Chain A
Amino acid sequence: MSARLEKPIFEYSVPGRAAEDQWPRDPGPDATADLPAALRRTKRPLLPEVSELETVRHFTRLSQLNFSIDTHFYPLGSCTMKYNPKACNSLAMLPEFLARHPLSPETVAQGFLSCLYELQEMLKAVTGMQAVALSPMAGAQGEYAGVAMIRAYHRARGDLERNEIIVPEAAHGTNPATATMCGCVVREVPVNADGDVDLEALKAVVGPKTAGIMLTNPSTLGVFERRIEEVARTVHAAGGLLYYDGANLNAILGKVRPGDMGFDVIHVNLHKTFSTPHGGGGPGAGPVGVSARLAPFLPVPLVGRRGDRYCWLTDRDLPQSIGRLSGFMGNAGVLLRAYIYMRMLGREGMAKVSEYATLNANYLLAQLTRAGFDAAYPERRATHELIITLKRQAKELGVTTMDFAKRLLDHGMHAPTTYFPLLVPECLLIEPTETESKAALDAFVKAMGEILAEAAKEPERVTSAPHTMPVRRLDDVRAAKQLDLTWKPTGAHAIPTTS
């Protein structure tokens, strides 16, 4: 990796320079003469004036400052950073798909709609749910749709008291945040020492105010919730519904289905299990699947079929829908990528994904344990991911999880997820995914072992890492206190870009 930093694009800007080949012809000054002066812009925006080559070079150099799946091992737990097949991108970007306007008539959309319809059907099959809506644009929006449907269901039955959502204390932060966005009150339940939900505590918390519970299985602790059927019975008996956060579907694809476990609603992160790109933080896609009783509340639009024609279903077809969550059809191009990936996997490939993801995680767990690391749940199988805790190393050597994470970057590997779940002290949540080879896993174990040895011998080398990246550790406190959120013309910045 080049350690060279790249100056902001605005510092390449020269008045009068332009990538003019990209501009349309000048329609002349009269073309806009009808726009009233009072409504017109008077000062030009701060956009760079640069050539096409300068632009390409600048952004190519910026790209080279990133770690990515294509360039580095990226075992970020709970994020499923698997290989994104190139065909999924190139076929979703066929010119006809790119050019199709979202509001163009169904008669010129049969190709696109057929892909979406079949995607709905495949997602029903792999999740065991009765109906699927594709439009939620990210996992968090899928969660929102799920909880909003649970609320709408209770309301439609005239059961207006149910406003409590139960989440296990280990849940992802979006779960409680979603419950709040849906106007619900969050009740947390503890998990017991081996990582399963504390059933007695759950029984104590459910009641006539319970709207539902948000769970993922395998849980965020990287283990399978063994008493899931009892959890389902308990919540259902109290009149609540079960929501499945599909973040961890990679562990169970083709092996067990949320619908069969008793869940009423699920969201699926297509950018995890179905390998659509993470794009530096999005776009994601979070389709939702539901049991029959929640189907009337699905977000619109859906794709339906009448005879041999595919069509949109809107709130006219689903009058009880929770409504529309996006301007058009969610992240349509992401849906196409997932469709292509699922067709390539096919029936046979689905189970292979979870088998090899699980093999890789359990292998890493075994080898890391041999290398002197502590499993958070040593008596349990790993699922598609595993958690180790560096509590002992932090105490004995004064080297924290954050230090290990930063030092891994020097070894050319992206760090696993750190300090999540919050329940496990000094933890690393590691998800290798099925697309990594044994050699890549062995290299990770070796790097972890070397860092551990270094931590004993030369701890400051670890606590001051990274040493080979474009920047050293960044001052986050300064970033939040002396807010610098936009570039200002020369002179305003006291910090030199290069050393």
Chain B
Amino acid sequence: MAFIPHTREDVEAMLAAIGVGSIEQLFDEIPANLRLGALAGVPESLSEMEIGRLMAERARLDGRPLCFIGAGAYEHHIPAAVWAIATRGEFYSAYTPYQAEASQGTLQLLYEYQTMMASLTGMDVSNASMYDGASAMGEASLMAVRANRKSHSHRILVPSTVHPHYRKTAAAVAGNQGLVFEELPYSMEEGRILPGALDRYDGQDITALVIQQPNFFGRLEDVDALCDWAHARNILVVAVVNPTSLALLKPPGAWGTKGADIAIGEGQPLGVPLSSGGPYFGFMTARMEHVRQMPGRIVGRTVDAAGRAGFTLTLQAREQHIRRAKATSNICTNQGLLVTAATVYLSLMGPGGLERVAAASHARTRELTDALTKVPGVRRLFRGPVFHEEALAIDRPVAPVLESLAARGIVGGLDLSEHYPELGQALLVCATETKTTADIEHYANALTECLRAARAA
């Protein structure tokens, strides 16, 4: 099955028009010794009914456990309208809007998206999205190097409270261009950047400081002081933020006296399902003075030949198809489909709905923390407020506890020992508006039993 519409008569007429006797003859420029025989290693074709059965079986294997992990991907309610719109063929099966006149729908949607993201982050401009939050941090670091003409060191300070996968991805994406990422230590009591961690960089040439808010542990950094410290030393500030949290928390554009220079983050919480990690989208916004250093597509509003408003891709002189080796990035696509979903999501939520989601997630996480810290052997790891995640210490090794929870249909959180072994037996948990009091009680009871069993063993 290959979705081919040709009848035998079509094929004969087409071959006659070309002047060849067979389709095979069309491949006669390929050296014969390179031609492939039978294609071993690919199974026989399946009909739609057969693949439907197979995928349903695979899906059933994974089930639908109750999920209490966040760590950069968050389960939120997604209104039915979001994907009903996003999977319309006119959005789903269109390409990058190169022919603007035939792509006004996508272009206007991107312009509306740019407006929403710029405002949500408190910045001037937004691009049309990046691949995901982690790779956007790499791109933002490269952008900071281009934008900070006062610095020549290519040194980027990254707190160890930034998502570990983001740090690894940024190093992989940007490291080949000579960027150096230097880690700032965190406080084991507070789960935040260690006060005084920046002192040793006074007087040194630093290009940018990355600040994640809320940080990987869900904790709130002192963004105003950090931002002002950087700006006083001609260091650019790259903010890494959770878009849901911005309904409640101060947007990067309002951090400190001047505001952050570049804001990026994972757009997934805005109407994109968890779906094993992707496709998601990274957002990137910035102050107007840096717009020409931004990577990726940007949509602008202009006029057509009749003087009416219309939308088009703009500032393309930054991009690879024009600048080739001198482009700001090799990025070509954005994550258009996910941006479509996010724009519909933000429209349905509005400012009030997004606030409600953020507040409810915060409240559920407090409720979860209260319930779990009543379980014998469980305590909070850090003091002070969080947004919607909490790090917990438990008195038994984490991995087997998580496995017994999974066997009970609960994905209980993230084992922190892989990335933060110094924290001991620690677990990062999250609750959003999707969790009920009954869900939380169910988890607390299960954890009580799992820990009891682990102690007895």
Contact = CB atoms under 8 A, between A and B. Distances in A.
B398 to A, nearest CB: 11
11 contacts: A24-B356, A32-B363, A97-B275, A99-B75, A105-B406, A283-B278, A283-B279, A342-B42, A363-B18, A471-B100, A495-B309
A108 B95 CA distance: 35
Tell which of A6, A101, A436 has the most Cβ of chain B within 10 Å. A101
A-B CB proximity, top 4 nearest: A346-B45, A70-B89, A328-B277, A125-B41
Interface string B349-360: 111111111011
B2 A71 contact: no
Contacts of A84: 92-93
Contact of A101 (B77, B274, B356, B403): B274
A483 B281 CA distance: 24
B93 A181 contact: no
B176 A181 contact: yes
A98 B64 CA distance: 9
Tell which of A68, A124, A182 has the most Cβ of chain B within 10 Å. A68
A39 B250 contact: yes
Contacts of A27: 359-360, 362-364
B277 A474 contact: no
Contacts of A420: 321
A244 interface: no
A87 B94 CA distance: 18
Interface residues of A, number: 206
B10 A437 contact: yes
A116 to B, nearest CB: 9
B352 to A, nearest CB: 6
B72 interface: yes
A114 B128 CA distance: 34
A347 B43 contact: yes
B303 A478 contact: yes
A495 B301 contact: yes
Contacts of A243: none
Given A99-B64, A140-B332, 19 more contacts: A35-B248, A39-B220, A41-B247, A45-B247, A49-B352, A59-B109, A65-B103, A68-B93, A69-B94, A70-B93, A89-B87, A96-B60, A114-B61, A115-B58, A122-B42, A229-B34, A327-B72, A358-B27, A475-B303
B446 interface: no
Interface in B52-101: 52, 54-65, 67, 69, 71-73, 75, 77, 79, 81, 83-85, 87-101
Contact of A474 (B48, B100, B124): B100
A435 B335 CA distance: 25
B115 A10 contact: yes
B374 interface: no
B424 interface: no
A47 B116 contact: yes
Given A40-B250, A102-B274, A345-B45, A143 B330 contact: yes
Nearest to B354: A47
Nearest to B360: A24
B249 interface: yes
Contacts of A102: 73, 274, 276-278
B102 interface: yes
Contacts of A172: 321
Nearest to A327: B134
Contacts of A61: 105
Interface in A27-65: 27, 31-32, 34-36, 38-42, 44-50, 52, 55-56, 58-65
Interface in A80-127: 81-85, 87, 89, 91-105, 107-112, 114-115, 121-122, 124-126
Interface stretch (B145-153, B231-239, B312-320): B312-320
A177 B320 contact: yes
Contacts of A32: 248, 359, 362-363
Interface stretch (B198-206, B292-300, B389-397, B448-456): B292-300
Contacts of A498: 308
Given A66-B102, A96-B62, A36 B1 contact: no
B334 to A, nearest CB: 5
Contacts of B354: 45, 47
A471 B308 contact: yes
Contact of A326 (B84, B169, B304, B324): B169
Interface stretch (A201-209, A250-258, A390-398, A450-458): A250-258
Contacts of A141: 131, 135
B23 interface: yes
A158 to B, nearest CB: 18
B168 interface: yes
Contacts of B166: 327
B391 to A, nearest CB: 15
A195 to B, nearest CB: 10
Given A125-B39, A125-B42, A100 B101 contact: no
A200 interface: no
B321 A173 contact: yes
A36 B73 CA distance: 25
Contacts of A180: 177, 325-327, 330
B172 A299 contact: yes
Given A23-B352, A323-B168, A472-B304, A486 B362 contact: no
Given A62-B105, A177-B330, A326 B131 contact: yes
B34 to A, nearest CB: 5
A186 B325 contact: yes
Given A35-B248, A109-B62, A485-B299, A45 B92 contact: no
Contacts of B249: 35, 39-41
A486 B115 contact: yes
Contact of B312 (A9, A257, A346, A476): A476
Nearest to A358: B26
A52 B79 contact: yes
Contact of A25 (B132, B250, B355, B360): B360
A332 B308 contact: no
Tell which of A324, A327, A362 has the most Cβ of chain B within 10 Å. A327
A485 B125 contact: yes
B242 interface: no
A332 B309 contact: no
A474 B246 CA distance: 35
A308 interface: no
A385 to B, nearest CB: 13
A94 B17 contact: no
A173 B305 contact: no
Interface in A212-233: 223-224, 226, 228-229
